[in-house]
A and B are shown apart, each in its own frame.
Chain A
């Protein structure tokens, strides 16, 4: 078909998405979250180093996927609401409270919003917890994966997950899953971001592309 001059490249008007791979897993004493770093608008990669692991509180993080604007806005709103809540109760908030706040926004505005956040963290009541909030549902799981890249690794996580993994094994599980998804999903890529949260606090790490796992055909 013909193309009118002056409409500009397609990616200028395309919605900006964090087509993505995100994962969070609980271990005895904390959680590990991981994400890739690619943000795309149509065919163009508009940010190749975006950190999709966003802090909601000192020991509670969320992983963003779907529409970049929607996901960021939800995270910022909940960050504010949690600050207010933790002052009101004069204590650190529960992970379930953070997840509930995310779920409330996702459910109420489900027609307008297009984002899925996985909420994970540590609190002194229940230890490490992972919550999925897809489409306004709230469910606690031993681990959760999300984003466009997650479809390629359902088989891998189903086969490899074992109950009772320790911190190092959980970190390895997160990185391997991210590597596999990033190598197959066109909307995932760049570097891997990882956050490990336990009683001591939250430790953030960046793993560069060439330090990730490689496979038999590389």
Chain B
């Protein structure tokens, strides 16, 4: 009987995952679950951090192969820091997203990583960008990604409103993550979120047992 060898074992730990980012009036919320699994059969980490700070007011969330995503984020952090020093100004969110996009696009054959970039800059305020698997870059007011995201397209479409307040947007993000984690078996653990505004960054962690519950919980 042949051992089942899945892509994940070759590529390293994979993030079956749920990630999201949403703009509100004055800032942006970015968040994810915290589960890393191997091939959907074993949870290799219950508390992995998928919300990475790439600069003071720019964060990104990774999906796909965790190994690939970590390597790309490390390279992007370096390029962004250098760019920011050369420009003598905090980087634009679109600059961070473009650096990630370039890495993903030029190495599309080898890589299997997608990103959501969210942040605040002086020029355009709060923004969210999506870099998809092949290296497409798109700006959206709200976006979701990862395997768990399929289950919450309907919820996000119905419940997201542009220009919500900070509290409304944070609650919306926590609800969406909780719903996805409840249905996707490769998403779970705690909800890690960051709220980014002109004045700073606030980290919010919601442990599994404090997540909102729904009618059948």
Contact = CB atoms under 8 A, between A and B. Distances in A.
Interface of A: 151-163, 176-177, 180-181, 183-184, 213, 215-217
B151 A155 contact: yes
A155 B183 contact: yes
Interface residues of B, number: 23
Main secondary structure of the interface of B (DSSP, over half): helix
Contacts of B180: 155
A152 B154 contact: yes
A71 B158 CA distance: 30
B215 A183 contact: no
Contact of A159 (B153, B162, B175): B175
Contacts of A176: 158
B78 interface: no
With most chain B CB atoms within 10 A of its CB, the pick from A155, A163, A213 is A155
B153 A153 contact: yes
Interface of B: 141, 150-162, 175-176, 179-180, 182-183, 214-216
Nearest to B157: A215
Nearest to B162: A216
Closest 3 CB pairs of A and B: A153-B154, A156-B154, A155-B152
With most chain B CB atoms within 10 A of its CB, the pick from A157, A159, A161, A162 is A159
A27 to B, nearest CB: 14
A154 to B, nearest CB: 4
